[in-house]
């Protein structure tokens, strides 16, 4: 399909592209939407500049891609619980929300398709977000490693991030000064997903583990799992698999959470940063060889 309504400009060799010629404050025609969806599938993360949208318009755009998720541990806006404010105040000197490599809430039965993040207030410098292509992470593994991982599943949980421990939220959130983030025993619940998942729109295989939520491989102990998980997580963010996005006020990033990890860099102490995030419900991850579900998707 040739783009007639938008211009797509890649920002790196691995993933990421800026989309030009779209005002997301206005309703999208079906042809423009189809071109944006194609760019999303091909580039894994797409960016829009110089946007000015209300929460209602934010939700209208994201809603074209699916139903909204409400984060179970971090509070949304009072009038729009589907819109999560991601804030770090200038006098916060600790960690930031999302400040390590991860895919969002993979402890769900149906982890998100992706998230649409809108910049309200950005620092003069710092606060970039990095993204990593998990198709490339899988495709660059040895044939032997691929054969082993293709049939494996892993256990995911929110316990390390939102469990009732002294360090959980401080490792992942900016604390009560900036955001309302809770811990709870419900964070200890677990969910199993394939280590390598098939993305139905592209038919490609993506590595699907991350440091935040992947506890261990199914049938393995954590001690047995840790060395391989550590290797795969380091491999997944090799520089040649990544892109880096410099935020400006009014910028929007929309990433495919199924096949891209991201990391919000925490290098802007003394400056304020406020983003609004809308997350879109995805499908239950498909295992390799799950051709019936792939065909039905």
CATH label of the domain that carries residue 188: 3.60.130.10
Query: Per the confidence metrics, is the pTM higher than 0.75?
Result: yes
Q: Is residue 1 in some structural domain? A: no
| pLDDT of the residue at 50 | 97
Enumerate the active-site residues.
102, 104, 262, 277
Higher pLDDT, 94 or 82: 82
Q: Is residue 25 in some structural domain? A: yes
Report helix, strand or coil for 204.
Answer: strand
Q: Is residue 45 in some structural domain? A: yes
Does the pLDDT at position 210 exceed 80?
yes
| CA 253 – CA 17 distance, rounded (Å) | 10
Q: Is residue 185 in some structural domain? A: yes
| pLDDT of the residue at 164 | 86
| CB neighbour list of residue 218: distance below 8 Å, 6 or more residues apart | 152, 153, 154, 155, 192
Does the pLDDT at position 108 exceed 90?
yes
Q: Is residue 194 in some structural domain? A: yes
- Per-residue pLDDT, averaged over 72-83, amounts to 96
| pLDDT of the residue at 225 | 98
Question: Residue 117's domain spans which residues?
Answer: 7-296
Q: Is residue 2 in some structural domain? A: no
| pLDDT of the residue at 292 | 46
The values of phi and psi at residue 167, to 5°, are: -110, -5
| pLDDT of the residue at 281 | 98
Model confidence pLDDT, tens digit, residues 215-248: 999 999 999 999 999 999 999 999 999 999 999 9
- Per-residue pLDDT, averaged over 101-107, amounts to 97
Q: How many domains does the chain have?
A: 1
| pLDDT of the residue at 174 | 43
275, β-bridge pairs: 86, 119
- Per-residue pLDDT, averaged over 1-23, amounts to 93
Given a contact cutoff of 8 angstroms between Cβ atoms, the answer to whether 116 and 58 are in contact is yes
| pLDDT of the residue at 158 | 95
- Per-residue pLDDT, averaged over 132-142, amounts to 98
């Amino acid at each position: 399909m040739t783009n007639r309504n938008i211009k797509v400009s890649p920002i790196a060799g691995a993933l990421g592209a800026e989309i030009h010629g779209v005002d997301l404050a206005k309703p999208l025609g079906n042809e423009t939407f189809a071109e944006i969806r194609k760019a999303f599938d091909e580039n894994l993360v797409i960016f829009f500049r110089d946007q000015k949208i209300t929460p209602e318009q934010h939700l209208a755009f994201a809603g074209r891609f699916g139903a909204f998720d409400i984060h179970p541990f971090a509070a949304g806006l009072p009038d729009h619980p589907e819109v999560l404010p991601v804030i770090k105040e200038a006098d916060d000197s600790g960690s930031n929300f999302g400040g390590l490599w991860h895919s969002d809430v993979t402890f769900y039965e149906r982890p998100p398709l992706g998230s649409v993040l809108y910049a309200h207030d950005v620092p003069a410098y710092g606060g970039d977000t990095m993204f990593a292509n998990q198709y490339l992470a899988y495709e660059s593994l040895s044939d032997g490693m691929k054969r082993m991982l293709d049939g494996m599943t892993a256990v995911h949980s929110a316990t390390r991030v939102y469990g009732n421990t002294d360090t959980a939220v401080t490792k992942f959130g900016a604390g009560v000064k900036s955001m309302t983030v809770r811990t709870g025993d419900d964070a200890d619940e677990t969910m199993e997903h394939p280590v390598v998942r098939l993305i139905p729109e592209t038919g490609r295989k993506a590595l699907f583990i991350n440091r935040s939520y992947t506890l261990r491989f199914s049938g393995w102990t954590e001690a047995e799992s840790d060395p391989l998980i550590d290797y795969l997580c380091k491999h997944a963010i090799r520089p040649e698999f990544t892109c880096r996005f410099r935020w400006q006020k009014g910028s929007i990033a929309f990433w495919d959470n199924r096949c891209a990890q991201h990391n919000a860099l925490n290098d802007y102490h003394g400056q304020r940063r406020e983003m609004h995030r809308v997350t879109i419900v995805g499908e239950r991850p498909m295992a390799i060889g799950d051709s019936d579900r792939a065909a039905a998707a």
